[in-house]
């Protein structure tokens, strides 16, 4: 390799280094960095006095009697498909993972023959003589929260309209349906 080619290679390397330094200097001039006075971020913790001053609005829930009056049993049948893996809805239907739900409204909680209920459900049945519309609504909203220790693994139905629809469907699954509560 001759000296002319060596000088061209050394010049190219120097040119790249100078160009890189120049771009860095020019970008520092264009984009002037701001250095914070205090490094890091402040972590704001909620104090008890802040908690009492916060007001959260309660969602407006239509009373159960009105929801049941406006409920649709056919929509409830569609909602009940979520339950069909564990429960049967037929008269004289067999128990599955959960008990058969035919004629559940007005039936004693934990009292269906041939099903082994959790101790929590059995105790609940001792305190409550029958499944009322209100009890079913609260239980279907969040079974584990409403009845701690229940073996029902369903998370619950959050929408009040869905709960009213399925309760209307369950009400119709009876030879003698219970009267609806007053509005």
pLDDT tens column, 28-63: 888 887 777 887 777 777 766 555 555 565 566 788
Tens-digit pLDDT profile for residues 83-105: 999 999 999 889 999 999 999 99
Nearest to 108 by CA among 95, 87, 127: 127
Whole-Å CA distances, 35 to 29, 39, 40, 73, 155: 15, 8, 11, 65, 50
**Continuous segment of H or E residues that includes residue 124:** helix 119-127
Amino acid 40: pLDDT: 78
pTM: 0.66
- Per domain, the residue ranges of the chain are 3-53, 64-172
CATH topology of domain 64-172: Cytochrome Bc1 Complex; Chain D, domain 2 (1.10.760)
- Collect all residues with Cβ–Cβ distance below 8 Å to 127 and sequence separation of at least 6: none
């Amino acid at each position: 390799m001759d000296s002319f080619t060596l000088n061209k290679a050394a010049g190219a390397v120097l040119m790249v280094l100078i160009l890189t330094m120049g771009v860095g200097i020019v970008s520092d001039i264009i984009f002037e960095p701001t250095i914070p006075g205090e490094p890091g971020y402040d972590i704001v913790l909620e104090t008890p006095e802040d908690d009492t001053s916060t007001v959260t609005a309660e969602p407006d829930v239509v009373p159960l009697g009105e929801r049941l009056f406006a409920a649709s049993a056919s929509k409830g049948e569609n909602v009940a498909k979520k339950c069909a893996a564990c429960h049967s809805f037929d008269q004289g239907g067999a128990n599955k993972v959960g008990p058969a739900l035919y004629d559940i409204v007005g039936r004693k909680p934990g009292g269906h023959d041939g099903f082994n209920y959790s101790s929590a459900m059995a105790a609940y049945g001792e305190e409550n003589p029958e499944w009322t519309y209100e009890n079913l609504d609260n239980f279907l909203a969040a079974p584990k929260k409403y009845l701690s220790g229940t073996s029902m693994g369903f998370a619950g139905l959050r929408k009040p309209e869905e709960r009213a629809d399925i309760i209307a469907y369950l009400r119709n699954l009876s030879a003698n349906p219970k009267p609806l509560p007053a509005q």
